[in-house]
Amino acid sequence: MLLSAKHLFKTYLLAHSEIRVLQGVNLEVAHGETVAIIGRSGAGKSTLLHTLGGLDRPQAGSVEIDGVPLYHGRQKTCNAIRSKKIGFVFQSYHLLPEMTITENVLLPALSGPHPPWRVLRERALTLLAQVGLAERAEHKPPELSGGEQQRAALARALVNDPGLILADEPTGNLDAVTGRQVIDLLFKLSKVRGLSLVMVTHSPDLARLCSRVFELRDGRLFDFMSQ
C-alpha cells in the first residue's frame, strides 16, 4: 500500500467546546490508485487530507506512506517524509505572488539537501512545459488566469517526484470547462508517473473519474459506490 491510515481521530479543542472531526477513519490507497472523497461542507474533508499528508497531527491513529510512519517521530521527520513523498494541490493555488512561476514550482525542492539551482530550474521548466506553461515561466502568479495558476500548482506538486498527490477541491475556484482541463491534466500526469491520488471534490462527475469514492460522514469514511 502506498498510503495506509488507521483509526484516525482528530478533535479541535475550542475555548468552551470541542469539534470531533475524524472519529476512526481508515483508508488504504494502493500504488497508482485514484480515490475521491466527498461530503458536506464542514464534514472534515480538508482536515482528513491534512492529516493524511502530515500537515495536521491526529490525536490518535497512524498514517504510513510507503510503509513509513508519518507521525511516530518528531515534526521534522514528518516534514521530511511529506516533502519527499507527497504533493499537495489546494483549491486556492497557494502560489507566492512575489515569485515567478518557475521559482514557485521549485520552492518545495529547496528544503533539505538538494541538487544545484541550475538542475532544479531545468526540472521546474520541464514540468512547466508538461502543464503547458513554458511561455509563462517567468511570469508571476497574479498575471496568470486561475486555470494557469492551478496548472502551475500541479507542476509544483510534482517537483519532488512524490508517490502521492493530495488534492483539496482542486477545481473549486474554476469554471466547469477549465476545471475539467485541470483535472484531465492531473489524471494524465498521475497516470504517466504511476502516482496515487486522493482528491476531495464537491462534484459527483469528478468523483466518478476516480477508481473509488468515499463519503466522509460523522467522522468516518463510507464506500459511496456501494450505497
Closest CB 44 distance from Mg ion, rounded Å: 8
Cα torsion through 103, 93, 56, 69, rounded to 10: -60
Beta strand 34-38 pairing with 196-200: parallel
H or E segment and range at residue 223? strand 220-223
Closest CB 46 distance from Mg ion, rounded Å: 3
Q: How far apart are CA 188 and CA 158, in angstroms?
A: 13
Q: Determine the size of the site formed for Mg ion (CB under 5 A).
A: 1
Q: How far apart are CA 64 and CA 3, in angstroms?
A: 6
222 touches, from ligand ATP, Mg ion, none (C-beta below 5 to 8 Å by class): none
Binding residues for ligand ATP (CB under 6 A) = 12, 19, 21, 39, 41-47
Closest CB 89 distance from ligand ATP, rounded Å: 14
> Measured from the CB atom, is 91 or 160 closer to ligand ATP?
91
> Measured from the CB atom, is 40 or 193 closer to ligand ATP?
40
Closest CB 106 distance from ligand ATP, rounded Å: 29
> Measured from the CB atom, is 44 or 162 closer to Mg ion?
44
Give residues 41-80 in contact with Mg ion (rule: CB under 5 A): 46
> Measured from the CB atom, is 49 or 101 closer to ligand ATP?
49
Helices and strands, counts by H and E, the chain: 7, 10
Q: Is 113 exposed, middle or buried (0-12, 13-18, 19+ CB in 10 A)?
A: exposed
